[in-house]
Amino acid sequence: MSSDANVKLNFNISSESFIGHRMEVLPSLDIELTKTEALDMYFQMQMVRRLEMAADAAYKAKMIRGFCHLCTGQEAIPVGVEFGLSKKDSVITSYRCHGFTYVRGVTPTKILAELMGRRDGCSKGKGGSMHMFGPNFYGGNGIVGAQVPLGAGIAFTHKYLNDGACNVALYGDGAANQGQVFEAFNIAKLWDLPVIFVCENNKYGMGTSANRAAMNTDYYTRGDVIPGIKVNGMDILAVREAIKFSKEFTTSGKGPIVLEMSTYRYGGHSMSDPGTTYRTRDEIQHMRSTSDPITGYKTRLLETNLVNEDELKALEKESKKLIDAATAEAKASPEPEVSELFTEVYANTDGIPSLRGRSSSEIHYY
């Protein structure tokens, strides 16, 4: 890193980036970052995108099976959320979770190995794309919307322990219509839990647009008496500032807050969805060319005149190198032993016959 690593970079967020519901004060529009912080945010977004590109290629090569949901186009959210939190805060999200798993501290090798069902995966190859876990990261959950009440429960733990931390519970616009989401809102407000409910509104659920599935698509107002903010989820600076603001809000005894991150996914809902039957290719290309979170942030960095093109290219090359190496390591990892089939299923294994050392022909499946 150059000697000017600690120089301050100043950014202005558009006033349209935040729209409030029952909010007297909104997040600041002025941000100051050190050059180190600013470049790290760029690097982490590059890492998340490269990670998803590697997952895409591995799936198409049939090295990844089953469900696989990518966040390509939404990189500003996992990275921005992480930069607005501390490590003692907790995060829980849906099955579009690879980026969050990485920023919470799980290595790309462990993520890709998990996707490929390999022993070195973060869930020992037994969870796959939808079930990833890490430090203060509770998944990766396969049931639509089920992570939201779990997030409220984790927030209750933070309040009970009085540890000054909050939980970020993320869900998609499709999951926003689940009844358990509103039940979680209700109990969280009754008990003033330190939880940030975040709806990642990428405009489309599985095969349909949000406005065909919901009467009210202003998801930040869905908490009723719970305050909310609509955030430009394609701007990493807006995401970071909204999360920092919301952490302070929720941990100061004011109870929960609902954020709507307005974002866009370039691919389909999952790898089995081409994503072009309910939207046009022109729309996708338009979003790529006008609202890409990485390209937009890169432009803003260069406009400061304190970051140059060579520095950013070096970070881009480094991210590619790291992900290429992680992909090779994941491919080299062996599959789990058959004896792992029932491990980590029961909390108390007394009386359950051990499978270790037994061949697959000796194991009976019920």
Is residue 254's pLDDT more than 70? yes
Q: How remote is the C-alpha of 347 from its chain's centroid?
A: 28
pLDDT at 358: 54
pLDDT tens, position by position, 293-326: 999 999 999 999 999 999 999 999 999 999 999 9
Q: How remote is the C-alpha of 353 from its chain's centroid?
A: 38
The greatest distance separating any two alpha carbons of the chain, rounded to the nearest whole angstrom, comes to 67
Relative to beta strand 30-34, strand 8-12 is: antiparallel
Q: Which residues of 65-94 are buried (b: 16+ CB within 10 A; e: fewer)?
A: eeebbbbbbbbbbbbbbbbbbeeebbbbbb
DSSP E strands: which ranges in 90-194?
90-92, 167-172
pLDDT at 353: 57
pLDDT at 356: 55
Confirm or reject CATH 3.40.50.970 for domain 8-335, answering yes or no: yes
Q: How confident is the model at residue 357 (pLDDT cuts 50, 70, 90)?
A: low
For 340, residues 6+ apart whose C-beta sits below 8 A from its C-beta are 119, 124, 126, 355
- The burial of 217, by beta-carbon neighbours within 10 Å (0-12 exposed, 13-18 middle, 19 or more buried), is given as middle
Interatomic CA distance for residues 281 and 286, integer angstroms:
9
Q: How confident is the model at residue 5 (pLDDT cuts 50, 70, 90)?
A: confident
Mean pLDDT lowest among 20-24, 107-111, 139-143, 254-258: 139-143
Q: Two tokens at 249?
A: 């809000």
pLDDT at 351: 57
Task: Kindly report the length of the chain.
Answer: 366
Q: How confident is the model at residue 352 (pLDDT cuts 50, 70, 90)?
A: low
For 162, residues 6+ apart whose C-beta sits below 8 A from its C-beta are none
pLDDT at 53: 98
DSSP E strands: which ranges in the chain?
8-12, 18-21, 30-34, 90-92, 167-172, 195-201, 228-232, 257-262
What value does the mean pLDDT take over residues 161-187?
Answer: 97
Q: How confident is the model at residue 346 (pLDDT cuts 50, 70, 90)?
A: confident
Closest of 304, 296, 245 to residue 42, by C-alpha: 296
Is residue 365's pLDDT more than 50? no
pLDDT at 341: 84
Q: Which residues of 127-147 are buried (b: 16+ CB within 10 A; e: fewer)?
A: bbbbbbbbebbbbbbeebbbb
Is residue 363's pLDDT more than 60? no
Is residue 112's pLDDT more than 80? yes
Residue 318 half-sphere exposure toward CB, CA atoms < 13 A: 12
One-character DSSP codes across 279-340 = S-HHHHHHHHHHH-HHHHHHHHHHHTTSS-HHHHHHHHHHHHHHHHHHHHHHHHSPPPPGGG
pLDDT at 264: 97
pLDDT at 366: 40
Closest of 75, 30, 19, 83 to residue 52, by C-alpha: 75
Q: What is the mean pLDDT of the chain?
A: 94
What value does the mean pLDDT take over residues 24-28?
Answer: 97
Q: How confident is the model at residue 282 (pLDDT cuts 50, 70, 90)?
A: very high
Q: How confident is the model at residue 226 (pLDDT cuts 50, 70, 90)?
A: very high
Q: How confident is the model at residue 344 (pLDDT cuts 50, 70, 90)?
A: confident
